[in-house]
Amino acid sequence: MRQIVATFCALIFSIALFAQESDPILGKWENPSGEGRIEIYKKNNKFYGKLYWIKDSAKKDAKNPDPKLRSRNIQGTEILTNFSKNSKTYEGGEIYDPKSGKTYSCKMTLKGNDQLDIRGYMGISLIGRTETWKRIK
């Protein structure tokens, strides 16, 4: 009987760990223009996103406000940083726009399994812009 209880507890613990690790926002996404693909991942209990593919892979981060970073490739740049999960919304993070060199406050909201609304804003989220990314399968 003890062994059955111990096995059952181990199974429940494993399921709980798996549920924490698998989050619906994790994975690869494409922006609306199809020019960029972003991989969202989790580190230190926060969510981040890296621009892992762009149409022009040789493009440099020429508009970065830090002159030392202007010669780096945009591909590989972490553009989503420091998001916390709040139900189906991920907030408290920032998004870097390599086209303008600006960083904005941002929140992300899942719309089903395959669409992610990205809202970049300055100050309050009412003043901003939203675009919808699609999951890459």
Look at residue 6 in the predicted model and tell me its pLDDT: 45
Instruction: For residue 1, tell me if it sits in a domain.
Output: no
Instruction: For residue 13, tell me if it sits in a domain.
Output: no
One-letter amino acid of 47: F
Instruction: For residue 111, tell me if it sits in a domain.
Output: yes
Rounded mean pLDDT of 78-95?
95
Query: How many C-beta neighbours within 10 Å does residue 47 have?
Result: 21
| pLDDT tens-digit series, residues 110-124 | 998 899 999 999 987
Q: How many domains does the chain have?
A: 1
Instruction: For residue 18, tell me if it sits in a domain.
Output: no
The CATH number linked to 35 is 2.40.128.520
Q: Is the pTM of this model over 0.85?
A: no
Q: Which residues are CB-contacts of 41 (< 8 A; sequence separation ≥ 6)? A: 26, 47, 48, 49, 50
Instruction: For residue 20, tell me if it sits in a domain.
Output: no
CB-CB contact of 125 with 105 (8 Å): yes
One-letter amino acid of 74: I
| pLDDT tens-digit series, residues 32-68 | 999 999 999 999 999 999 999 999 999 999 999 999 9
* Helix, strand or coil, per DSSP, at residue 68: helix
Look at residue 29 in the predicted model and tell me its pLDDT: 98
What's CA 42's distance to the chain center, in Å? 8
Q: For residues 136 and 29, what is the distance between their CA atoms, to the nearest angstrom?
A: 5
Query: How many C-beta neighbours within 10 Å does residue 1 have?
Result: 5
Look at residue 15 in the predicted model and tell me its pLDDT: 43
| pLDDT tens-digit series, residues 14-35 | 443 344 457 999 999 999 999 9
Instruction: For residue 9, tell me if it sits in a domain.
Output: no
Range of the domain at 89: 25-135
- In the chain, the percentage of residues whose pLDDT exceeds 90 is 77
* Helix, strand or coil, per DSSP, at residue 96: strand
Instruction: For residue 53, tell me if it sits in a domain.
Output: yes
Instruction: For residue 47, tell me if it sits in a domain.
Output: yes
